[in-house]
Amino acid sequence: MELRRVVITGLGALTPIGNSVVEYWNNLIGGVCGAGPITRFDASKFKTQFACELKDFNAENFFDRKEARKFDRCSQYGIVCADQAVQDAGFDMTTLDLDRVGVIWASGIGGLETFATEVTAFALGDGTPRFNPFFIPKMISDITAGHISMKYGFHGPNFATVSACASSANALVDAFNYIRLGKADVFVAGGSEAAITPVGVGGFNGMHALSTRNDDPSTASRPFDKDRDGFVMGEGAGALIFEELGHALARGARIYGEIVGGGLSADAYHITAPHPEGLGAILSMRTALADAGITIQDIDHINTHGTSTPAGDIAEPKAIVSLFGDYAYKVNINSTKSMTGHLLGAAGAVESIATLMAVINDIIPPTINHFTDDPEIAQLNFTFNKAQKRTVNYALSNTFGFGGHNATVIFTKYKA
């Protein structure tokens, strides 16, 4: 069976450093950091009092007040972001075969704010169960995919992927495979997350995963730096329109680039820690390269998972060196989480957009906030502190999640 080619024809982004793809990309290149004191709740008693919040987002600019209350912020972000991508793709809805358009939308946690609000209200009450009828539909992780399909009448495959912080990269790999196997012509794929809540911050503090650099939030996300002390939580959404090449050409679509490979694996090691030698990451990257039919020497750029955690930032470079050998030192590597923070289940989609834009523009965004080399980390070209120009024909994005989930996607320039 000959596999069909899959191109990207639409993009959408809501990030801590920009609420459009253009703004997001320009701020990535400029090394802008999205971290600051938490404004959503009083965090003064928390170990971590800062995050990379989404800025200048008002749900009532997109939904009427009554409608907005039916959606958790996670779904609000997803619906708005997906609409950006759908509009960017320029579909003629009167001729589009809606039965051949699917949605795979990810979230690592889903409606955490809704869950916490409802359970707290019950716990503080007199024991009488008075739950909001929208509690369950607002909370469940799959609901955003459902809302996106209902908004446009997309009848194709519709589901959510949940693999912690690898969730939306997992969604991209799944959408890629469905299209090239002929099961759909178009997919809206991506993810959203809105976990900057007392429960979210407190929970990650409880497992000592977050940076506590409260005196200097703007430099707290320090991937691959000796003094990194944990990740900075981010929020937002990323959406990509994947489309079968012939379908895109037939309607005269603008093509951003092509997805050519996807790899998935498991560390099978620990509930939160990565395998210390990066064995799962190696397998995920190797699988994606084989899927794309290319070699390590074809890769020009790697957007790493790079969370700024003590263990993760050692394991991933080890995996890259193990797989790429001496060629690893010739690849431009970065972590855009140094600017956006960690968007958890939305990270894979948001970072894939950055990776694709690097391919399109032949520019590698920097890894900011680097001050001191870590002798335990192989000193690869991490593109520290300043964007670098270079030709990028193939680029790879890694996303890993608690539970040992690993996902890798590979993008290239579109060639007719």
Reading the block at residue 184, the tokens are 């759909």
pLDDT reported for residue 338? 98
Q: Is the pLDDT of residue 1 over 90?
A: no
71 within some domain: yes
In terms of domains, do 176 and 315 share one? no
Question: Of the residues 210, 225, 250, which one is the last residue of a structural domain?
Answer: 250
In terms of domains, do 282 and 363 share one? yes
In terms of domains, do 224 and 292 share one? no
Which residue(s) pair with 237 in the sheet? 14, 192
Whichever domain contains 142, its CATH number is: 3.40.47.10
Question: Of the residues 199, 223, 250, which one is the last residue of a structural domain?
Answer: 250
The residue type of 369 is: N
2 within some domain: no
> How many angstroms separate the CA atoms of 78 and 44, rounded?
29
In terms of domains, do 381 and 297 share one? yes
* CB-neighbour burial class of residue 307 (10 A; exposed 0-12, middle 13-18, buried 19+): buried
In terms of domains, do 395 and 312 share one? yes
Total domains in the fold of the chain? 2
* Mean pLDDT calculated for residue range 372-395: 97
* Nearest Cα residue to 297 out of 263, 324, 315, 278: 324
**pLDDT single digits (tens) 111-159:** 999 999 999 999 999 999 999 999 999 999 999 999 999 999 999 999 9
376 within some domain: yes
Q: Is the pTM of this model over 0.85?
A: yes
Q: Provide the domain limits for residue 46.
A: 7-250
In terms of domains, do 36 and 171 share one? yes
Q: What percent of the chain has pLDDT over 70?
A: 100
279 within some domain: yes
Catalytic residues: 165, 305, 342
In terms of domains, do 28 and 166 share one? yes
CB 159: neighbour CB atoms within 10 A?
A: 15
Q: Please provide the DSSP assignment of 116-129 as one string.
A: HHHHHHHHTTTS--
Residues contacting 250, CB < 8 A, separation 6+:
none
In terms of domains, do 218 and 108 share one? yes
* Nearest Cα residue to 69 out of 78, 56, 60: 60
Name the residue with tokens 């397998």: 283
In terms of domains, do 293 and 216 share one? no
* Mean pLDDT calculated for residue range 341-363: 98
20 within some domain: yes
CB 378: neighbour CB atoms within 10 A?
A: 16
Radius of gyration of the chain (CA): 20
* Nearest Cα residue to 161 out of 238, 109, 95: 109
* Mean pLDDT calculated for residue range 364-379: 97
Q: Strand 6-14 and strand 236-244: pairing?
A: antiparallel
Q: Cα 184 to the chain's mean position, in Å?
A: 23
pLDDT reported for residue 215? 97
Coil, helix or strand for 236?
Answer: strand
**pLDDT single digits (tens) 185-233:** 999 999 999 999 999 999 999 999 999 999 999 999 999 999 999 999 9
Q: Strand 301-303 and strand 394-401: pairing?
A: parallel
In terms of domains, do 188 and 267 share one? no
In terms of domains, do 177 and 92 share one? yes
Reading the block at residue 350, the tokens are 């948001």
**Is the Cβ–Cβ distance between 258 and 412 less than 8 Å?**
yes
